[in-house]
Structure 1
């Protein structure tokens, strides 16, 4: 039937049943996968070049003798890359291709994430959400680049804890896994200001409350940075400091947005069960406009005198 095939109009306030929310989430995930999977397949053909790019931060030695000679000359450690197992090269290629696809398709799946959250915002608030999402892609790419930049600094620090006389063997699979984890952790962590600004634009979170959370947020960011980065303090600081700065930047934006909203609507900060102040200031009442022939108060054709558009009786 044409009537049943016709799509139902969307609720302007974004309200929908739970089944509709799940169906919407499924559609958004499918669209994101349609962008990720083709790029992942293409990246498989360039997996060796990407692997060389990922493992470039590791100071590599071709043999144990060369590793010992390098340590004796420079006092620094180098590692020997290895791959264990028959399926390890293939699984490594899959991980490399997945990481490349996630980075390359970031604009698509970030937009799908916004499109899933946007129906919960009012129509006049979506323009702020769209502006905030426009920052999501460069923020994710900045975080991914920062993760790759910190690896050459973190790996020599980690290798320096090796016991004298030992040789470091690093699995390529482990190296790729660390790189993927850091790229995703840095990229997604840099989305924190985007999420906070979206919540503020939707009226869920105020800038004042965000500012009141600063102690707990700084501690949480430090703990998160320690969990997702290697055990060296340098990587933790490199991740924690930018996220903290971005958090306070999002807080400042939210405070300005709340002030703008309050100036536009003084009752915007009231809760649902709180009554607004009633303005009891009397206002002057303007008199009704008289017809030209009644303006001087002279009698009309019936002999009645009208003042301000009314006769004397009224």
Structure 2
């Protein structure tokens, strides 16, 4: 295609992806305050970690677990933010497919297969990390709210709490992409298994530093994220080792082949007889 046709294609793909996110956002906005097929509302799911705190650590002005609104329309904006975040996650197959459909014509057949696998595995890893973060957040909040004893209670504003939960889900989800990045770099021959294995001590230290930076100042979230990343790092090492061994076997097989050795077709008696007969017939005809 020409450059203009590529731009038209890009505009179409972006339009479909944005439309999918908008539709998912409208659904998430509605689900925030309504129950769906017996499931709790999205608002109940979001406030679940906060309401899991002991009664003595949170504010219950109406006898119910509630967050505090400090500005007009703050709840409306938060509902929009949560709804569109959910829409982007739920309909991620749609906009990921649009991205895939735009770049796929420029890839080889083998690259298309690996790209499709990596996109699928990456989506699963992000979802696993986000779910883990959802169950870790109450533990971290309980630890942080416990400081001060009976002199303080935890009255979080809606904006601060929602932003905190969304960031935790995002950080955990992105962090779980680590093994996928390692495997991709190894497959592209950017880094070898031997090099990754030699870096394991520094890598473990760096993973715990990263976990301490992206998580709130509580040891529970840091330890859970750090240990999870170390386990994923070990799994990625095993996959990289298997990939390097496969590459070595393939290279060894290529080196053992003699380029000057005739093929089996040339050495078969039937082929030689046919070739000789044809040559003789041509000579006689000549």
- Fold-level similarity (TM above 0.5): yes
CA change 1:197–1:113 in 2 (3 A) is farther
Select 1:42's aligned residue among 6, 27, 34: 27
Aligned partners of 1:129 and 1:198 also within 8 Å: no
Give the TM-score taking structure 2 as reference length. 0.73
CA change 1:170–1:29 in 2 (3 A) is same
Give the match for residue 256 of structure 1. 242
Give, in whole Å, the separation in 2 of the partners of 1:150 and 1:173.
20
Give, in whole Å, the separation in 1 of the partners of 2:185 and 2:149.
49
Structure with the bigger RCO (C-alpha within 8 Å, sep 6+) is 2
CA change 1:289–1:278 in 2 (3 A) is closer
Give, in whole Å, the separation in 2 of the partners of 1:168 and 1:210.
44
CA RMSD of aligned residues (A): 3.9
Give the match for residue 128 of structure 1. 114
**1:256, distance to aligned residue in structure 2 (A):** 0.9
Give the match for residue 220 of structure 1. 206
Asked whether 1:56 is paired with 2:56, we answer no
CA change 1:183–1:125 in 2 (3 A) is same
Give, in whole Å, the separation in 2 of the partners of 1:193 and 1:132.
11
CA change 1:204–1:293 in 2 (3 A) is closer
Give the match for residue 38 of structure 2. none
Give the match for residue 37 of structure 2. none
Q: Which runs of 5+ in 2 are unaligned?
A: 34-40, 61-66, 281-286
**1:154, distance to aligned residue in structure 2 (A):** 1.4
Larger Rg: 1
Aligned partners of 1:199 and 1:205 also within 8 Å: yes
Give, in whole Å, the separation in 2 of the partners of 1:292 and 1:44.
78
Q: Which runs of 5+ in 1 are unaligned?
A: 1-6, 9-16, 62-66, 72-76, 269-275, 295-305, 307-314
CA change 1:249–1:114 in 2 (3 A) is farther
Q: Deviations over 1:224-268 (max 9, x none)?
A: 222222211101111121222112212221221122122123499
